[in-house]
Structure 1
Amino acid sequence: MTGSAPIRILVCDDQFLVRAGYSTIFGAQPGLEVVGEAGDGQMAVEIAARLRPDVVVMDVRMPVLDGIEATRRLAGPDAPAPMKVLVVTSFNIDEYVYEALRVGASGFLLKDCLPAELVNGVRTVAAGESLLDPAVTRGLIGRFAARIRPDDPTRPDTGHPLASLTPREVEVLKLISTGLSNAEIAGVLVIGRETVKTYVSRILAKLQLRDRVQAVVLAYRVGLVTGRD
């Protein structure tokens, strides 16, 4: 990161020791800088608006304003200048994670992740990429998206949300939804990485989605993939 501006981070959690721990972890890494902390969701929104951090690390369960609503205000479709939000949560609040992703979070990590994973998560989100853990994301989104999708929407057809996609684009979307990177998708389909990148860009543009996280949510919601795939 020499010669580059550091990634500016706002840490949001209602527990002081958690905030202190995150700040210590980030502060020990080159190219990362904690510019502020917030103990509740409302404070997170206000401080983020003032400081404009590169990444907001957001807890879900917080007083005054919960992390989901705070994420919506910072990164949702109505946000005047959307920010990158990395949600950090626990296993026992799966539906909150799904909602956080749906309203604009760029990804999430579990609170028991390793420090290196937390640091990598911040760097990934700051770079404009989404953070999808294949082992966890598929189960979380699959279980809760299943509650709201139609009975049998597995085939794109006229009027279906995926009707605008070509068969190959649907195939790529399905692979994205398993958490594969562009390089891994290229290996599966035996095509170039740039070709995969082009497919991903077209998928996001056609479906009017912001990033891969939203693409995964949609794929589960319409039944293209399920948590059992």
Structure 2
Amino acid sequence: MPTPRACCSSCASLNWNARLALIVSPINMVGVGLTESTMTAFAFLITRSNFLVGLSSTVSGLALLLVAPCAGCLADRVGRQAVLRLASALAVLSAAWVFVWLLYFQPHTSDRTCYALLLGSQFLGGLRRGIQQPAFDAIFGDSVASGRRSQIYSWLSSLRKLGLACGPATAAAIFFARGDSWTEPELVAVLLAGAAVRLVPAALLWLFRDERSLGQERGVEAPPRRL
């Protein structure tokens, strides 16, 4: 088994984009873990309808399904870097939507309006994931040397699972600190925390660079560079 020192040395030798991806992925999954089940619970709290809860999840999946193939083609045309910056802008818009919805509209509007805003949040989240993931996976793959792919991909998978575990743990800590109850104020607090966490990977997406991929070294044409 490799020692921690050997792992750190191996990580330090990684390409810039690959190291950045290993940071972005777990933080992003913390946000997912914070909001995914909490959004479902919030939808049920304001609708009391299993159908409407399912619809809220379907909206996100449909948005992802519709945009992901186009995002992959766009990444090939204009470069992964440009598409990741577009995804970053959508992530900021999605977080801002959540803040405005929960801090301004939710206390003063009907449950029906609140549910419509929830659907909008889910739609924006699906768009962001559909645009980000193809370009993210592509630039990560182009930034890992062929002889190390299994090792580095296993690191990425493990870090994603770690982030996905930390998200619910953080949500549990917030619920415990606020009285250990499953009520609207507690759900709102967790959703706001999730939106705030997702701003961190949104900012880090701007640091990816097409020219720092290993496309040329691996005998693959590097994607076009765009500002």
TM-score tier after normalising by the smaller chain length: under 0.3
Q: TM-score, normalised by structure 1?
A: 0.24
Q: TM-score, normalised by structure 2?
A: 0.24
Tell which structure's C-alpha radius of gyration is larger. 2
Q: Per chain length, whose mean CA-contact separation is higher, i.e. which structure has more relative contact order (CA < 8 Å, sep 6+)?
A: 2
Which one has the bigger strand percentage?
1
